[in-house]
Amino acid sequence: MAEATRKLANGAQHIDFSTDPSRYRHWKLAVDGNVATLTMDVDEKGGLYEGYELKLNSYDLGVDIELADALQRLRFEHPEVKVILLRSGKPRVFCAGANIRMLAGATHADKVNFCKFTNETRNGIEDSSENSGQKTIAVVTGSCAGGGYELALAADHIMLVDDGSSTVSLPELPLLAVLPGTGGLTRVTDKRKVRRDHADVFCTTEEGIKGKRAVEWRLVDEIVPNTKREEVVKARAEEFARKSDRPAGAKGVALTPLKRRFEGDAIEYETLTLAIDRAGRRATITLRGPDANPPANAEEMTAQGAEFWPLKAARELDDAILHIRTNELELAVIVFKSQGDSDKVLAYDAFLDANKTDWLAREIRNYWKRVLKRIDLTSRSLVAVIEPGSCFAGTLAEIVLACDRSYMLIGQLNGGNLPPATLTLSDANFGPYPMPNGITRLQSRFLDDKAALDNARAKIGQPLEAEAAEEAGLVTFAYDDIDWDDEIRIFLEERASFSPDGLTGMEANLRFGGPETMESKIFARLTAWQNWIFQRPNAVGEEGALRRYGTGQKATFDMRRV
């Protein structure tokens, strides 16, 4: 069993998303000047669970945890890297995609969470290209199938070796009766602009497409004779490096191991606490604001490295969300609380904004954007509870805006002496952190209501108490201490009693109003179509294609269209 599994204090096994290159079993990372090479060389015996081997560079969640870690380290630890080469360490195969035996034996929740995480990782590749100047070239040799081609699709440029046998394919429908789970169909049409009829042929052809036709149909960007491969790879890397604005000579920041303590049903981080109430079917994440003021300049920020509060907080929140998603499947609600000094949170926002041309400040904001999207895409009911002593301001206020509901206390609670709760907006709420639909959470909140959005913008920097925040439309309800406990209790009990399936569908629909992007389409289609198909007997039944693949028995389909 792979190192990505560990035991909780209560003895339960769970997936751990924290790793580092010294523990990789499936990827090799090499940096040469401004070019990094990520070589996929999957250990067949390194699956997360028993019962399958990761042959032909097929992958499971453990393989993708390493990939996500490597990509994150390239962004933070190697500012000099302008181009990433994705390559295979296996002969005659680039990547066979998600491991079929793993998928056939996985629970429904595991399949969907696996697809969601791999989607987020590949979206991160594209985000790095667009916002961090780190371009990616997929050098495809051999068979590049299913999820392997979806990995290549995330790159800026796909180079296919023209050797008569190297192919790209999306064979999920004809072979397994499922769909590509990592945005393959959407990227073929929306990103690569493949003609609809060509895409239809491609997605129903088991053996895939190779050579000249792959270029003509826009499935790859170029084909290269094997004899000239390295020469062309070098030329393309130099070409893409010239387009990058990554800094030369900057010092990277080491992503040191997270400091976590597993204590019963809680995980204690340095900037937050995650507490699990299994009887109540909820998790409470209490974020702690910074103790110190921001550094004087960007050089001091870099010197602080992974201890710089915004970076540390983003890493720890990301880990906590992934833990809940993957390991706490019966929880209905995530409750977000905060403690600290709002002025200090706003000071860090102002510092990052003042240094937004610095590569590290840019990366930290990009990371917060991805973490907040991870919250948006988490299939739990999300609620913010804003009490005296909270520090939901600026970047942390985005968490309130990401929630399905928010409750804010008017005045004091039970005679406490803390100042009344406030919610404060900053410039960070009006641009740096778009949702998957491409607009900010405030724009999503106030769709087609420019007056409300302008009113919110006019309140930047004002600590709004509960009634003012409710009037401005920034929280759902404001209650005094007479109603507070009962209203929160009733909401949590009600949410825990509803159908999880119905809630997931409702929340996924309501969170993403407004425009669609390629990213929002990918996740919407995963939630709706793949979620459904993963439960249909034609795919996962005892006689379904996913279970019978490789057995020599043909799948038996219910031929009625639904």
Q: Give the tens place of pLDDT for each residue, 359-400.
A: 999 999 999 999 999 999 999 999 999 999 999 999 999 999
pLDDT in tens, 270-310: 999 999 999 999 999 999 999 999 999 999 999 999 999 99
Shared-domain flag, residues 364 and 391: yes
Give me the pLDDT at residue 12, please. Answer: 55
Distance between CA atoms of 272 and 339, rounded to whole angstroms? 9
Shared-domain flag, residues 198 and 338: no
Shared-domain flag, residues 275 and 204: no
In a domain, 477, yes or no: yes
In a domain, 97, yes or no: yes
In a domain, 358, yes or no: yes
Distance between CA atoms of 210 and 193, rounded to whole angstroms? 18
In a domain, 160, yes or no: yes
Report the predicted TM-score, pTM, of the whole model to 2 decimal places: 0.96
The residue from 488, 510, 532 where one domain ends is 510
CATH no. for residue 71?
A: 3.90.226.10
In a domain, 305, yes or no: yes
The angle subtended at Cα 294 by Cα 290 and Cα 299, nearest 5°, is: 135
Shared-domain flag, residues 188 and 123: yes
In a domain, 528, yes or no: no
Contacts 24+ apart (CB under 8 A), 428-433: 428/349, 428/352, 428/353, 428/394, 428/395, 428/398, 429/394, 429/397, 429/398, 429/401, 429/456, 429/460, 430/457, 430/460, 432/365, 432/368, 432/369, 433/365, 433/368, 433/369, 433/372, 433/395, 433/398
pLDDT lower than 50: segments of the chain: 1, 8-10
Dihedral angle sign, alpha carbons of residues 301, 422, 476, 426: negative
Distance between CA atoms of 453 and 442, rounded to whole angstroms? 7
Shared-domain flag, residues 86 and 118: yes
The residue from 489, 510, 531 where one domain ends is 510
Number of domains in the chain: 2
Shared-domain flag, residues 193 and 336: no
- Write down the mean pLDDT value for the chain: 95
Shared-domain flag, residues 387 and 450: yes
Give me the pLDDT at residue 415, please. Answer: 76
Shared-domain flag, residues 220 and 362: no
> Residue 190 has which token pair?
């929306």
The residue from 510, 536, 554 where one domain ends is 510
Shared-domain flag, residues 237 and 316: no
Shared-domain flag, residues 60 and 201: yes
Shared-domain flag, residues 482 and 436: yes
Distance between CA atoms of 436 and 370, rounded to whole angstroms? 9
In a domain, 327, yes or no: yes
In a domain, 524, yes or no: no
The upper half-sphere exposure of residue 491, i.e. CA atoms within 13 Å in the direction of its Cβ, equals 20
Shared-domain flag, residues 335 and 420: yes
Give me the pLDDT at residue 9, please. Answer: 45
User: Are the C-beta atoms of residues 214 and 165 closer than 8 Å to each other?
Assistant: no
Domain containing residue 494? 261-510
> Residue 114 has which token pair?
């696996």
Give me the pLDDT at residue 387, please. Answer: 97
